[in-house]
Amino acid sequence: MTSASNAAKPIDMDGADTVRMSEAEATAVGMRALKALGYNEEDAKIVVDQLIDNALCGYRFASLPRILAIATDPKHLKGRQPIKIVHETPLSALMDGNNNIGYVTCYRAAMLAAEKAKKTGFASVGVYNSYYSGRNAYFVEQIVKQGLVAFHIASAQPRVLPIGGKRPALGTNPICIGFPSDNGPVVYDMGTAALMWGDVMLHAHLGEALPVGIGFDKEGNPSTDAAAVLEGGVVPFGGHKGYVLSLAVQSLGLLAGSAFAKNQVSDYGFLFWVMDPQLMLPGGEFKSQMAELVQFVKATPKRPGVEEIRIPSERAYRERERRRKEGLVYDRKVIDSLNAL
């Protein structure tokens, strides 16, 4: 990770335009802001717990700045009704989010899927009529900590241009898979867009340029102006391969009811498939085998100059523990904007 000579340096650097906060201080800012937006204590805590964990794991754009996006989203202004289950079996549930934010609806869906899977061995839970679910790995880690395997996708409104297209037709559409092991959760989380939309929004808020080749304005012209890209979209990662994965996630979103909210097939849909590994391996070998697989991969001979072969989520878990001691660094402009709420 880091050499002994620089291990004492903070993982995040301070600057004239940043502020360092403890986990508790950052939580308090987030709770005040969300309550000012009309969230009750329980829902605000669900949202803030994820936002702070996102910061601890090194995802600055997915932390407290997301509250600013919530505050200005037209869906927030439409109000919310209680989440309800519209169809349910012992193995499944379909939930109408009733315009509640995805941080809350997906958390409840994840917990319901885990509960069902522990009873039946497998569960499928979907949510529609919701938005902004945040970081998929957060939900999946909560499920995996219960000894379960989890697969989670989030389809979304059009933000991503198909290959060769001038206008967005797909969401940023992340995919997340998590496995329990004897050494703790192993979580693979990836977006299918070249840049997550929250990062585009943060760049626009801070007036920072985007990398070349990622963004397009509303006319379909290449642009590094984040504000202009907010009116257009971004491309999938990895060319045609990322495009195919993005389209697959959009398709799976239909199983979560994504087309029901506004009768359009490219919209938000959050789907969880959860399985007890003993459904396939009744002897309980999976967790030890998963730990062995991770160690086998990490033991691969390294090329010159490579300190370590890492497994996805390993960096985030290490940094989470460091930031709990060192504190969280936020852009002062973001904190000032939140306090202004």
Give the three-state DSSP class for 311. Answer: coil
**Residue-wise pLDDT tens digits, 69-90:** 899 889 888 989 999 999 999 9
Annotate 286-308 with b (16+ C-beta within 10 A) or e (fewer).
Answer: bbeebbeebeeeeeeeeeeeeee
> Shortest CA distance to 61 belongs to which of 275, 217, 208, 238?
208
Query: What pLDDT, on the 0 to 100 scale, is given for residue 4?
Result: 45
β-pair partners for 205: none
pTM of model > 0.95: no
Q: Where are the domains of the chain?
A: 1-72+310-341, 82-189+238-299, 195-234
Query: What pLDDT, on the 0 to 100 scale, is given for residue 77?
Result: 86
Q: What amino acid occupies position 249?
A: V
Domain 82-189+238-299 belongs to what topology?
Answer: Ribosomal Protein S8; Chain: A, domain 1 (3.30.1370)
**Residue-wise pLDDT tens digits, 166-196:** 999 999 999 999 999 999 999 999 999 998 8
Is residue 134 within 8 Å of 102, Cβ to Cβ? yes
Range scoring the smallest mean pLDDT among 78-92, 199-213, 254-268, 282-296: 199-213
Q: Which two tokens stand for residue 41?
A: 């204590």
What is the C-alpha to C-alpha distance for residues 234 and 170, in angstroms, rounded to an integer?
A: 10
**Residue-wise pLDDT tens digits, 268-320:** 999 999 999 999 999 999 999 999 999 999 999 999 999 999 999 999 999 99
> Does position 327 have pLDDT exceeding 70, yes or no?
yes
Query: What kind of architecture, by CATH, is found in domain 1-72+310-341?
Result: Orthogonal Bundle (1.10)
Mean pLDDT of 43-53: 98
pLDDT band at 61; cut points 50, 70, 90: confident
pLDDT band at 217; cut points 50, 70, 90: very high
Mean pLDDT score of the chain: 94
Mean pLDDT of 96-101: 97
* Cα→Cα distances 119→68, 115, 124, 139, 227, Å: 39, 7, 13, 19, 48
Phi, psi of 76 (to 5 degrees): -60, -35
The answer to whether the 1-72+310-341 and 195-234 domains have the same CATH topology is: no
The full 3-state SS of 138-160, as one line of letters, equals HHHHHHHCCCCEEEEEEECCCCE
CATH superfamily of 195-234: Hypothetical oxidoreductase yiak; domain 3 (3.30.60.50)
Q: Where are the alpha helices (DSSP H) in the chain?
A: 23-36, 41-56, 65-72, 74-77, 102-120, 136-144, 197-206, 226-230, 240-255, 286-298, 314-326, 332-340
Percent of the chain, pLDDT > 90?
89
* Cα→Cα distances 336→206, 330, 339, Å: 13, 10, 5
